[in-house]
């Protein structure tokens, strides 16, 4: 890779890595999400001329990370922290783990990290309305599990 391409990759990496890591950890859990991020970025480095020409390289790398670390039907596990945060709901981790992968991704990225529905849709290659449906269903399951209503 020449010096110009290396600078382009470094710029891309600084912009893409945090977003890609957050999305993969939200989808796959902490351990597998970090591994998937490393796999995806390794792929991007090895195939940089091709990756940089893509319309949605982060969305493509998101799928690369998922497929390169995929044991079929993996469900993320959100365990109890050694130092529980007194400001968080203790049941939230368990309830997030019970959501479908797509519902959990939508809830965590939109409400946890402030992504827009469009950003999540671009990442996953789906329609905004599909992400809205996953978000609505995920929030409804969380509210039911926490026994709260949207107005509390």
Q: Annotate the chain with three-state secondary structure.
A: CCHHHHHHHHHHHHHHHHHHHHHHHHHHCHHHHHHHHHHHHHHHHHCHHHHCCCCCHHHHHHHHHHHHCCCCCCCCCCCCCCCCCCCCCCCHHHHHHHCCHHHHHHHHHHHHCCCCHHHHHHHHCCCHHHHHHHHHHHHHHHHHHHCCCCCC
| Domain annotation for the chain: domains and CATH numbers | 1-74 (no CATH), 75-152 (1.10.10.10)
pLDDT reported for residue 152 = 53
Query: Average pLDDT, whole number, for the chain?
Result: 87
pLDDT reported for residue 84 = 57
Q: Inform me whether the pLDDT recorded for 23 exceeds 70.
A: yes
For the segment 36-64, the average pLDDT, to the nearest whole number, is 94
Distance CA 105, CA 90 (A): 19
Q: Inform me whether the pLDDT recorded for 62 exceeds 60.
A: yes
The larger pLDDT score, comparing residue 75 to residue 33, is at: 33
pTM over 0.85: no
Q: Inform me whether the pLDDT recorded for 45 exceeds 90.
A: yes
Cβ-Cβ contacts under 8 Å for 145 (sequence gap 6 or more) = 91, 95, 98
Task: State the number of CA atoms in the 13 A half-sphere of 83 facing the CB.
Answer: 0
pLDDT reported for residue 50 = 94
pLDDT reported for residue 140 = 94
Task: State the number of CA atoms in the 13 A half-sphere of 84 facing the CB.
Answer: 11
Q: How confident is the model at residue 147 (pLDDT cuts 50, 70, 90)?
A: confident
Q: Dump pLDDT digits (tens) for 105-127.
A: 999 999 989 999 999 999 999 99
pLDDT reported for residue 3 = 73
Please identify which residue in the block is written with the tokens 């912009």: 15
Q: Inform me whether the pLDDT recorded for 76 exceeds 90.
A: no
């Amino acid at each position: 890779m020449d010096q110009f391409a290396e600078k382009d990759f470094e710029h891309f990496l600084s912009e893409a890595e945090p977003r890609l890591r957050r999305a993969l950890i939200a989808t796959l859990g902490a351990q597998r999400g970090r591994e998937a991020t490393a796999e995806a970025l390794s792929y991007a480095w090895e195939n940089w001329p091709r990756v940089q020409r893509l319309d949605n390289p982060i969305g493509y790398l998101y799928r690369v990370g998922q497929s390169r670390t995929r044991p079929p039907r993996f469900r993320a596990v959100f365990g109890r922290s050694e130092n529980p945060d007194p400001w968080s709901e203790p049941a939230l981790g368990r309830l997030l783990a019970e959501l479908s992968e797509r519902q959990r991704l939508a809830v965590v990225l939109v409400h946890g990290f402030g992504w827009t529905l469009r950003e999540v849709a671009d990442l996953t290659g789906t329609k905004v309305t599909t992400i809205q449906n996953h978000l609505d269903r995920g929030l409804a399951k969380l509210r039911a599990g926490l026994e709260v209503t949207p107005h509390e």
